[in-house]
Structure 1
């Protein structure tokens, strides 16, 4: 694939938001380029091995459809998805298929090292490719890096962390285990309900995702005996499509700022040590895990929060809790505030009332003081509370798709992004906003 010097739309960051943005831009006949620093797409879905997709349905209505649903359908065709759980490798191939169908160009193993701007408009990005620096121009740029890298390098407005303390959410290194005796494991859980979270249900259906979270007594004992990092609070896993496999969201890495290489390096080492400790506990103490084994750990530690854009609108925690609606809504969500606390900070999980959902305005995707820069996914314009609800993968896909639609329209009309009529974008993504 020959990389050209000029595109209609450039998307930086190949996670689910970036894939959705690029595919939608391509479907709208824009010449789109997706730049990704790994050799594969998926972001936290693949490199972070994050599964399953979190809540995005209200009263039987699926809030996020479009490109997100296309990804799900492609994964099911490949037998790599059950209920809302999936395999990282299946996600990659499904995403590749959609990007190819939309005629998107892809540039892997590449890093942006400079943003070349004239006043409020980005002219080009300088990209490091195999020890060569190349400048690539576009009409519109979309930052789906998760860390707001374009904003950071281009000196556009961003914020980071809690508004009062500056703290960032905890990190987690996902891992996958095989040969679990799920029947034996669930039988044990049913007989020891006090050792697990109260939100758990016990009518286990083996044809769907099973979620198990707790083992508090085992964790407490291991910490007291010095066999487990004291930051680990519980063991949490969900089942995967293949019988006997589980995806573990258990490690708890505190005190880090994942926007810096130093913290990320520490987090990787801490996380892998925690995984080793947890696996030992499972194999030696937990019924159902006697013959289990570690299949893999994620390529990178899972990051929940770093930089957030300052946009034309900032989505707040109150917008989430009150189910705010907007005239320029381009997506909906129903996942509540979910903050994994740092040291000396309590974790928070605040579910919405049954049947409630909120809308996400187009203005939160438009970067303040920028004529041709959009954001989607984890770096959406929001407060920390708002961000904690919006950061999940289904919502990231929806905001990415809206960015792709807006970028294609702006490129076609040679317009500043905020001058495009929001109703034109809403028409393209109506599947994500229609009840």
Structure 2
């Protein structure tokens, strides 16, 4: 059927991208009273958390176990927990961070629709945003392609939570990609689940062979702690000599009692914004899934009766484009826990760079109280006056993106962007003109933890 006429829709705020950042942005915007539309190209919400099986959420706490992310993100965890769809924050038995947050992705998909409808947000699924109309550095409207034709959606404010800075890029806002020099990005990973895993046997093998696992694993507590994640099997991986540029096996338990989520495949050297590269990444990722799952079943203690149960709808993407914004968060800002007067979110996740070309992972932890500030200016692009950005594509360096890209951090910046867009509509001003103290007050009233003395709750 041919649709020749553009159909018009109007809103106060349009959020592009239905991942955790976009969901939280839309919730904050909708709760402000603004007429809000959330656009998502898949048939369900959740972004990388559901599409690519990114699981669990890491992390709401510092290395010492102090919670630094709250607000809508914590509200979602509370509602998942109340429904029996998450145990809440649990100790990370990998030992990389203090806590991780397992969740049931299928229930998360349902809950998000409920919460968005409660907030009065209109959700458009199966809608692909592919054109942006700007006038004098202001986005006037965006075009989306759907099964029922093309829509031209007009709004006062726009929020880019696409992960790839698609809206910002198409609007003409300056963007960057990858590391300085060669523009190489962190590798992509096709995640998958296996069932039939004997987790008691896995844990006992860890206790009996600690030298084969990550040095930060809390071995002294493993007898009492529920197994939540495993990093290691170094000897088995080396002996298998698979054609995958990685040096260990990583998996997390759940959501089923005999189930694990495997984060071990690695696709390097391809551009997640190039359709041919992305196609090749999908092909290579699925071939690697078969290799790794066969290896785990045949070689790893506890996996002899395991089988492949699900694979991501698409490959997981750590890094593509990001905006070149009004301020780029620097490595030293993170490592030194630098305070910012325009702080709109905090995070305790370390810098965690999966090598774009090598085997390893480079990590560095936050000093001081273990958390760093994310300033509001990182959400503001240059040039475009009615656009906010949240999630993976905020303004950072390549190295710093390796911490801000994690889901709880994206949830926090999403809430901030949505709240700022709401204030922009309320006062008929540009996001850059929002009073930062008013924005911070709104965020605090919603449970966001912006102050160092907020970070008091001990982890588990």
Which has the larger displacement, 234-243 or 28-37? 234-243
Equivalence for 2:413? 399
- Contact conserved, 1:36 with 1:110, CA < 8 A, in 2? yes
Which has the larger displacement, 96-105 or 372-381? 96-105
Deviation of 1:209 (Å) = 5.0
The verdict on how the C-alpha distance between 1:206 and 1:282 changes in structure 2, with shifts beyond 3 A counting, is: farther
The 3-state SS of whatever aligns with 2:12 is strand
Equivalence for 1:105? 122
Equivalence for 2:240? 222
The count of aligned residue pairs is 429
The 3-state SS of whatever aligns with 2:51 is coil
Equivalence for 2:4? none
Equivalence for 2:213? 196
**Any idea what the Cα deviations from partners look like across 1:222-280, whole Å, max 9, x if unmatched?**
21xxxx22324221111114311111111111111111111111111111111111111
**Any idea what the Cα deviations from partners look like across 1:365-393, whole Å, max 9, x if unmatched?**
11111110010000001111121111100
The verdict on how the C-alpha distance between 1:61 and 1:347 changes in structure 2, with shifts beyond 3 A counting, is: closer
Map 1:84-99 to 2 at 5 A. 84-99=101-116
Cα distance in 1, alignment partners of residues 428 and 227 from structure 2? 46
Equivalence for 2:83? 78
The verdict on how the C-alpha distance between 1:229 and 1:346 changes in structure 2, with shifts beyond 3 A counting, is: closer
Deviation of 1:324 (Å) = 1.1
Match of 1:66 among 62, 67, 71: 71
Equivalence for 2:97? none
Cα distance in 1, alignment partners of residues 275 and 84 from structure 2? 36
Cα distance in 1, alignment partners of residues 18 and 358 from structure 2? 34
Which has the larger displacement, 135-144 or 179-188? 179-188
Match of 1:9 among 9, 13, 32: 13
Which has the larger displacement, 160-169 or 207-216? 207-216
- Contact conserved, 1:177 with 1:292, CA < 8 A, in 2? yes
TM-score by length of 2: 0.90
**Any idea what the Cα deviations from partners look like across 1:13-61, whole Å, max 9, x if unmatched?**
0000000000010111111100000011100110011111112313543
- Contact conserved, 2:326 with 2:377, CA < 8 A, in 1? yes
Equivalence for 2:275? 261
Match of 1:181 among 198, 204, 213: 198
Deviation of 1:164 (Å) = 2.5
The verdict on how the C-alpha distance between 1:50 and 1:31 changes in structure 2, with shifts beyond 3 A counting, is: same
- Contact conserved, 1:49 with 1:174, CA < 8 A, in 2? yes
Q: What do you get for the CA RMSD once the two structures are aligned?
A: 1.6
Which has the larger displacement, 369-378 or 78-87? 78-87
Cα distance in 1, alignment partners of residues 153 and 225 from structure 2? 48
Which has the larger displacement, 159-168 or 351-360? 351-360
- Is 1:289–2:308 an aligned residue pair? no
The verdict on how the C-alpha distance between 1:405 and 1:208 changes in structure 2, with shifts beyond 3 A counting, is: farther
Structure 2 unaligned regions, length at least 5:
1-6, 91-100, 455-460
- Is 1:356–2:370 an aligned residue pair? yes
Cα distance in 1, alignment partners of residues 117 and 251 from structure 2? 33
Match of 1:325 among 331, 339, 343: 339
Deviation of 1:206 (Å) = 7.2
The 3-state SS of whatever aligns with 1:116 is strand
- Is 1:44–2:61 an aligned residue pair? no
